[in-house]
């Protein structure tokens, strides 16, 4: 398995094709727009060498003989235990990086989703997709590469299907060109948007956007590509306070952790058939997406719990720095932990009540997975609010002069700022702690937990579908001794 250095070198060897602020990023490991997230992802390789965390982030391959130790992010999730470690690992990585290392978990989820989906396709259609996937995955495991995942299409008008859009490229699709591709290769055009962590990844696993029907079959595609494949241009989006990442000093307090989200622009990219896992089998696109989101929604509770843990710590650091004891915040801290453990726990429960797909993949309970998506779109906001409450005025919106002003020597006011920012702790400690609260609650560390992996509203729809209202009605009727069938008014 790779060392952190080998991981970074692998990124440096790639063709630069990522832009931000109109500038091509030559080296993602040192460019200010991407180095934070790369450093965060590198921590995964780092802790793989740490006895304390080794068993969390590594496992044995189920497809390589003799058994090989691999990164858990490249493994097939085959049991309740595997799924539980998934949730725990996400929590751990948020603990250690303070934010999302989404350049790995989305790709991992995509691999597992397509493992089940290719199994079903092959069984039904006689295709050989799973073998292709297996071949690629064995190689990926052996080379210990980092794989991000891409799901969301631009979509255009949300009320129209892909083929109804005035511009057919609003969802990623196969186009019928002759650009030198071999038989079985596909050529794709369009975009994937808001894709997490591609700058930190070697390859990108692409899923179809949603459930498609026959006329949309050119949109039912799944494949994996090197991040620097010809024809792919990547634009990093902004995030809150992102320009601070270009500054010196501690106004971005976290150096080994950060988030990026990108727009991927596909200009007739040729995908070799060995890397294609769906190409027009529209009936299976919904499965691919559902397989993905159930697992994603079950485990995202670990993410927000992990970030919530850090918020508890950060808020108490500011309080202590202010000269206050955390005892007076007991009720609030307890609520923060309740929020954290609730999203974590529902994820664990979804894992525990899951079942094994015929392909071997462990599928979490869909009702609990979607319940968790709703909590993930709600409870962290409450946790952030409490962190700002405990942290006080300097933490709430990071209401502190800049690092440059704090260090000012030229005008003479730097010393005064340091004097007045001191409380129970040193001024710098107090500022760093307050900046961490800011970074976590409305700064560069805020992940998109509301809409990542789909929106709460969509989850609510699935909750209603997966809740057995008729059974509830039956129980109620029996208890109340009602014989009349009580049908809803038409």
Find the binder of a copy of itself among 123, 135, 356, 472 (CB under 8 A).
Answer: 472
For residue 269, give Cα distances in angstroms to 18, 181, 236, 369, 419: 16, 10, 19, 35, 58
Does 14 help bind a copy of itself (rule: CB under 8 A)? no
Q: Within positions 165 to 224, which residues make up the interface with a copy of itself, using CB under 8 A?
A: 167, 169-170, 190-191, 193-194
Applying CB under 8 A, which part among 71-79, 129-137, 280-288, 482-490 lies near a copy of itself?
482-490
Q: Within positions 293 to 332, which residues make up the interface with a copy of itself, using CB under 8 A?
A: 309-310, 312-314, 316-317, 320-328, 330-331
Q: Which is nearer to a copy of itself, 97 or 117 (CB)?
A: 97
Find the binder of a copy of itself among 157, 214, 230, 248 (CB under 8 A).
Answer: 157
Nearest to 192 by CA among 246, 138, 233: 233
Q: Which two tokens stand for residue 194?
A: 């808001």
Q: Which is nearer to a copy of itself, 203 or 251 (CB)?
A: 251
CA 420 to chain centre: 40
Q: How far apart are CA 203 and CA 403, in angstroms?
A: 37
Does 338 help bind a copy of itself (rule: CB under 8 A)? yes
String of DSSP letters for 286-309: HHHHHHHHHHHHHHHHHHHHHHHH
Find the binder of a copy of itself among 161, 341, 357, 360 (CB under 8 A).
Answer: 341
Using CA atoms of 452, 454, 456, 461 in order, give the dihedral in degrees to the nearest 10. -170
Looking at residue 407, what DSSP letter applies? T
In angstroms, give the least distance from the CB of 182 to a copy of itself. Answer: 27
Does 435 help bind a copy of itself (rule: CB under 8 A)? yes
Q: Within positions 239 to 258, which residues make up the interface with a copy of itself, using CB under 8 A?
A: 239-244, 250-251, 253-257
Does 388 help bind a copy of itself (rule: CB under 8 A)? yes
Q: Where are the alpha helices (DSSP H) in 73-201?
A: 80-97, 102-125, 129-143
Helix axes 379-391, 330-352, angle to 10 degrees: 160
Applying CB under 8 A, which part among 59-67, 130-138, 282-290, 457-465 lies near a copy of itself?
457-465
How many residues bind a copy of itself (CB under 8 A)? The answer is 161
For residue 324, give Cα distances in angstroms to 220, 295, 310, 316, 391: 57, 41, 19, 9, 10
In angstroms, give the least distance from the CB of 90 to a copy of itself. Answer: 14
Q: Which is nearer to a copy of itself, 144 or 245 (CB)?
A: 245
Does 469 help bind a copy of itself (rule: CB under 8 A)? yes
Q: Which is nearer to a copy of itself, 36 or 275 (CB)?
A: 36
Find the binder of a copy of itself among 233, 274, 283, 286 (CB under 8 A).
Answer: 233
Find the binder of a copy of itself among 174, 289, 348, 361 (CB under 8 A).
Answer: 348
Q: Which is nearer to a copy of itself, 152 or 222 (CB)?
A: 152
Q: Which is nearer to a copy of itself, 63 or 407 (CB)?
A: 407
Dihedral sign, Cα of residue 147, residue 152, residue 153, residue 154: negative
Q: Which two tokens stand for residue 290?
A: 């559902």
Q: Are strands 203-206 and 147-150 parallel, antiparallel or unpaired?
A: parallel
Q: Within positions 38 to 77, which residues make up the interface with a copy of itself, using CB under 8 A?
A: none
In angstroms, give the least distance from the CB of 3 to a copy of itself. Answer: 21
Cis peptide preceding 66, ω within 30 of 0: yes
Do 400 and 421 contact (CB within 8 A), yes or no?
yes
Q: Which two tokens stand for residue 148?
A: 């991000």
Q: Which is nearer to a copy of itself, 273 or 477 (CB)?
A: 477
Q: Which is nearer to a copy of itself, 30 or 482 (CB)?
A: 482
Does 15 help bind a copy of itself (rule: CB under 8 A)? no
Q: How far apart are CA 86 and CA 298, in angstroms?
A: 9
Q: Within positions 93 to 112, which residues make up the interface with a copy of itself, using CB under 8 A?
A: 95-98
What is the H or E stretch that residue 253 is in?
none
């Amino acid at each position: 398995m790779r060392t952190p250095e080998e991981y970074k070198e692998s990124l440096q060897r790639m063709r630069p094709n990522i832009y931000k602020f109109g500038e091509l990023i030559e080296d993602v490991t040192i460019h200010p727009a991407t180095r934070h997230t790369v450093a965060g992802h590198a921590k995964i390789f780092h802790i793989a060498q740490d006895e304390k965390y080794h068993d969390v982030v590594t496992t044995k391959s189920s497809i390589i003989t003799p058994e090989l130790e691999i990164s858990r992010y490249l493994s097939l999730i085959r049991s309740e235990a595997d799924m539980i470690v998934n949730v725990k690992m996400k929590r751990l990585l948020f603990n250690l990086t303070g934010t999302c290392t989404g350049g790995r978990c989305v790709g991992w989820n995509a691999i597992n989703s397509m493992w089940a989906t290719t199994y079903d396709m092959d069984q039904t259609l006689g295709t050989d997709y799973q073998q292709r996937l297996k071949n690629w995955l064995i190689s990926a495991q052996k080379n210990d590469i980092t794989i991000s995942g891409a799901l969301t299409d631009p979509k255009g008008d949300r009320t129209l299907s892909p083929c109804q859009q005035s511009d057919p490229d609003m969802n990623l699709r196969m186009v019928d060109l002759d650009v030198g591709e071999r038989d079985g290769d596909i050529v794709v055009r369009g975009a994937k948007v808001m894709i997490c962590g591609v700058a930190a990844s070697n390859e990108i696993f692409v899923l179809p956007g949603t459930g498609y029907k026959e006329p949309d079959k050119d949109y039912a595609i799944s494949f994996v590509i090197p991040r620097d494949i010809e024809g792919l241009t990547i634009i990093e989006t902004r995030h809150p306070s992102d320009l601070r990442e270009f500054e010196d000093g501690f106004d971005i307090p976290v150096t080994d952790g950060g988030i990026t989200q990108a727009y991927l622009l596909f200009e007739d990219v040729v995908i070799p058939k060995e890397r294609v896992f769906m190409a027009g089998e529209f009936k299976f696109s919904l499965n691919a997406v559902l397989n993905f989101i159930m697992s994603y929604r079950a485990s995202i509770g670990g993410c927000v719990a992990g970030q919530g843990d850090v918020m508890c710590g950060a808020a108490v650091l500011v309080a202590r720095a202010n000269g206050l004891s955390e005892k007076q915040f007991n009720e609030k801290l307890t609520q923060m932990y309740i929020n954290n453990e609730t999203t974590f726990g529902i994820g664990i429960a979804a894992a525990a009540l899951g079942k094994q797909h015929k392909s071997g993949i462990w599928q979490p309970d869909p009702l609990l997975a979607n319940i968790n998506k709703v909590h993930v779109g709600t409870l962290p906001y409450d946790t952030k609010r409490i962190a700002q409450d405990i942290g006080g005025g300097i933490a709430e919106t990071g209401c502190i002069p800049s690092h440059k002003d704090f260090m000012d020597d030229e005008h003479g006011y730097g010393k005064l700022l340091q004097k007045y920012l001191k409380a129970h702790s040193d001024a710098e400690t107090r500022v760093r702690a307050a900046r961490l609260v800011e970074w976590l609650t409305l700064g560069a560390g805020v992940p998109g937990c509301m809409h990542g992996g789909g929106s709460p509203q969509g989850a609510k729809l699935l909750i209603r579908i997966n809740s057995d209202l008729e059974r509830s009605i039956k129980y109620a009727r029996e208890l109340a001794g009602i014989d009349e069938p009580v049908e809803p008014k038409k």
